[in-house]
Amino acid sequence: MIPSTAIFDQSQMTHLLSIDPLVQAYRALFSLLDWSLVEQWQSQRSHRGRPAHPMSTYLKAFLVRICEGLPTTSALRSFLLKHPLLVIELGFGLVLDPQAPYGFDEQESIPCDYWLRQQLRSFDRCLLQDLLFATVRSLQEEIPGLGEVVAFDVKHIYAWVKENNPRAYVAERYDKTRVLAGDPDCKLGVKRSSNQEQADGSTKEKKEYVWGYGSGVAAATTAAYGDVVLAEYTQPFNEGDVMYFHPLYQQAAVALQAFPTHVTADAAFDAWYVYEAAARHGGIGAIPKNGHGHPEMQRDTDGVPRCAKGLRMTPRFAFQHTNGYRAQRFGCPLLFPTPTSEACERLSSNHGQGCHKDPNWEAGGLMRVLLDRSSPLYKAVYTQRTSCERINSQAKDLGIERPRLRNRRSIANLNTLIYVVINVRALQRAQSINRGLLQRCSLPLSDSPTSYACLPSVPMHNFVK
Q: Give, as one character, the DSSP assignment of residue 47.
A: -
**Has residue 391 been placed in a domain?**
yes
The answer on 343 and 396 residing in a single domain is no
The answer on 147 and 21 residing in a single domain is no
- Strands 285-286 and 262-264, by their bridges, are parallel
427: enclosing H helix or E strand = helix 408-441
**Residue 460: what pLDDT?**
46
The answer on 182 and 40 residing in a single domain is no
Domain boundary among 323, 358, 393: 358
**Residue 21: what pLDDT?**
94
User: Could you report the per-residue pLDDT of 39-69, keeping only the tens digit for each?
Assistant: 999 988 877 766 689 999 999 999 999 999 9
In this prediction the pTM is 0.88
The answer on 190 and 116 residing in a single domain is no
User: Could you report the per-residue pLDDT of 252-309, keeping only the tens digit for each?
Assistant: 999 999 999 999 999 999 999 999 999 999 999 999 998 777 788 899 999 999 998 8
CA geometry: angle at 302 spanning 300 and 306, to 5°?
30
**Has residue 448 been placed in a domain?**
no
Please state, in angstroms and rounded to a whole number, the distance separating the CA atoms of residues 247 and 233.
7
Q: Which domain holds residue 349?
A: 314-358
- DSSP β-bridge partners for residue 449: none
**Residue 97: what pLDDT?**
87
**Has residue 4 been placed in a domain?**
no
**Residue 343: what pLDDT?**
83
**Has residue 2 been placed in a domain?**
no
**Has residue 268 been placed in a domain?**
yes
Spatial CB neighbours of 133, under 8 Å, sequence gap ≥ 6: 251, 254, 255
**Has residue 349 been placed in a domain?**
yes
**Has residue 437 been placed in a domain?**
no
Please state, in angstroms and rounded to a whole number, the distance separating the CA atoms of residues 376 and 343.
45
The answer on 96 and 44 residing in a single domain is yes
Please state, in angstroms and rounded to a whole number, the distance separating the CA atoms of residues 228 and 104.
40
**Residue 165: what pLDDT?**
92
**Residue 273: what pLDDT?**
96
The answer on 218 and 235 residing in a single domain is yes
Low-confidence ranges of the chain (pLDDT < 70): 1, 4, 6, 49-51, 194-205, 442-465
Chain centroid to CA 443: 40
**Has residue 273 been placed in a domain?**
yes
The answer on 214 and 157 residing in a single domain is yes
Domain boundary among 59, 91, 122: 122
Please state, in angstroms and rounded to a whole number, the distance separating the CA atoms of residues 331 and 350.
11
3-state secondary structure of 251: helix
CATH of the domain at 141: 3.30.420.10
The answer on 23 and 42 residing in a single domain is yes
Chain centroid to CA 351: 50
The answer on 212 and 193 residing in a single domain is yes
The answer on 412 and 387 residing in a single domain is yes
DSSP alpha helix (H) spans, 258-362: 272-279, 349-352
The answer on 383 and 263 residing in a single domain is yes
- Split into its structural domains, the chain has a count of 3
**Residue 81: what pLDDT?**
96
Of 197, 214, 215, which is closest to residue 206 (Cα–Cα)? 197
The answer on 255 and 214 residing in a single domain is yes
**Residue 384: what pLDDT?**
95
